[in-house]
Homo-oligomer: A and B are copies of this chain.
Amino acid sequence: ELAQRPARGKLVLVSSINSTPVGEGKSTTMVGLGQALRRLGTNAVVCIREPSLGPVFGVKGGAAGGGYAQVVPMEDLNLHFTGDFHAIASAHALLSAMLDNHIFQGNALGVDPRRITWPRTIDMNDRALRKVIVGLGGATGGVPREERWVIVPASEIMAVVALATSRADLEERISRIIIGSTAGKAPVRAGDLGVTGAMSLLLKDALRPNLVQTLEGGPVLAHCGPFANIAHGCNSLMATKTALALADVVVTEAGFGSDLGAEKFFDIKSRFGGLSPAAAVLVCTVRSLKYHGGAAKTALGEEDLDALARGLPNLEHHVENLRRFGVPVVVALNRHLRDTDAEHQLVADAASRLGVPLALSDVWERGGEGGEALARELLTLLEGPTPTYRPLYDLHLPLREKIETIVRKAYGGDGADFSAAAARSIDHLESIGMRDVPVCMAKTQFSLTDDPKRLGRPTGFRLTVNEVYPAAGAGFVVAQCGDIMTMPGLPKAPAAERMGIDEEGGSYGLS
């Protein structure tokens, strides 16, 4: 298969500063950058994640880029698409049902129902499923136990498909998924439940990357969609490797800021896939930086150089963060109509002080053409000396030290505190062979801390790790920090309320 062929292209990661409610346009910039590269004659392929119905019906209404830098067919992509998420949800659900059935039918494996870490999943923002009791209704209704649902992008099956490098590897990963432990704390795995084959069968087609295109006709591989706040946040290795076998430059994003998606792109995906990232693009906007500097959301349309200056340290942190992984960085300043020249200049000065190139990007308005400046800066970097990618931490450190390292380096904090439950879980995981694995941090995207309200570049903070779960099939452990939820909730006025089919049978409300 293509994914098994040697890489010929260079891999470029698109990351951003910390998310804000007004959006930074990272996907749009990535798609536009791909368009621009092709306009400049470069054989570029864009690798994106597939959207989840959660954000589609929640706040965002869709995830296919925007304006003249979009992926089509947008409507299918935002709804069922090729059914990958449904297949992942089904495979996940089959394991859940087989597990509870095993316990109900006599529990030959001696699974302790209170020590099950395998959640249920659904691709929906369904707050009411965060904490649930299942198995009620007496002796015929199963065995009562506490359960939690995660959204499909946080399902370990999503990570497994995204990180699998072949069908055999997929099956192997499924087999070693830990679903919980016995009363004696021995891990129990999906393979023990005899469900590996049926799960693989359900995932047979979902393992294949899906080919779509940009509005300008360039190739786009859309495959897998783990969130970057509650999962590892990258599109699939199968897609990235396929693209690297075919293209000269492969542009891909990792979700949210460099503290989240990028950190996991380098420490998990690249490490597991043997990738050698060649450069990183850091997307920012004047508006978002002003927001980080304390400007009110409603005042972002006004020039405010003070707020902008106060927000720039967030940009600086992310530049430093990306450089720490050994790759050169270019800043993409995603232009907005109401930005002023003075504001652009202030950001440019900051980039200059940091010694990183910066380019204005205008792809929403102008498509690939608007990204040519950025594409040129990027190509210059790619022609430079071969970078030496290095992960943030050594795999052989204890879990707590890996987490401490991430907190201190990637977040700029003082260290981590562990709840009693998290501490117990870490001790247990290390005792069952899950010590020398990466940690997938689950943390708010809005702040470098675990408190979504602390904007800019906070210092002197500690991170609280509340829960730690195994993801033995994915090959990492998940650390849940602060109040982050692996099952989002819908907002007061969900996007779903504004969607439908018009009289001609077309859709409205997606974007």
Contacts and interface: CB of A to CB of B under 8 A. Distances in A.
Interface stretch (A109-117, A329-337, A359-367): A109-117
A139 B167 contact: no
A499 B197 contact: yes
Contact of A141 (B131, B140, B144, B417): B131
A145 interface: yes
Interface in A147-163: 147
A94 interface: yes
A100 B128 contact: yes
Nearest to A123: B90
A500 B200 contact: yes
B133 A136 contact: yes
A507 B167 CA distance: 13
Interface string A120-142: 00111111111111111111111
B144 A127 contact: no
A52 to B, nearest CB: 11
Contacts of A133: 132-133, 136, 144
Nearest to A90: B53
A130 B113 contact: no
A498 to B, nearest CB: 8
A212 interface: no
B101 A127 contact: yes
A126 B97 contact: yes
B130 A201 contact: no
A141 B142 CA distance: 19
A98 interface: yes
Contact of A80 (B83, B132, B483): B83
Contacts of A496: 94, 98, 194-195, 197-198
Nearest to A115: B139
A265 B391 CA distance: 55
A199 B101 CA distance: 32
A204 interface: yes
Nearest to A206: B80
Contacts of A305: none
Contact of A500 (B86, B137, B197, B420): B197
Interface string A413-451: 000010111000000000000000000000000000000
A139 B112 contact: yes
A398 interface: no
Identical chains bound together, number: 4
Interface string A87-109: 10110011011101100111000
Question: Which of A125, A142, A205 has most chain B Cβ within 10 Å?
Answer: A142
A141 B130 contact: yes
Question: Which of A86, A112, A421 has most chain B Cβ within 10 Å?
Answer: A86
A420 B80 contact: no
A464 B421 CA distance: 12
A492 interface: yes
Contacts of A497: 194-195, 197-198
A97 B125 contact: yes
Nearest to A86: B86
Contact of A83 (B83, B101, B105, B498): B83
A349 to B, nearest CB: 39
A208 to B, nearest CB: 11
Contacts of A122: 93, 122
A138 B490 contact: no
Interface in A192-237: 194-198, 200-202, 204-205
A128 B137 CA distance: 9
Contacts of A139: 112, 114-115
Interface string A369-407: 000000000000000000000000000000000000000
Closest CB pairs A-B (n = 4): A197-B500, A131-B137, A86-B86, A100-B128
13 contacts: A53-B94, A80-B87, A80-B202, A80-B205, A86-B90, A97-B490, A106-B492, A132-B136, A138-B146, A144-B145, A201-B509, A204-B505, A420-B483
Given A112-B139, A138-B146, A200-B501, 10 more contacts: A53-B94, A80-B90, A86-B90, A94-B496, A97-B127, A101-B489, A131-B136, A132-B133, A201-B507, A420-B482
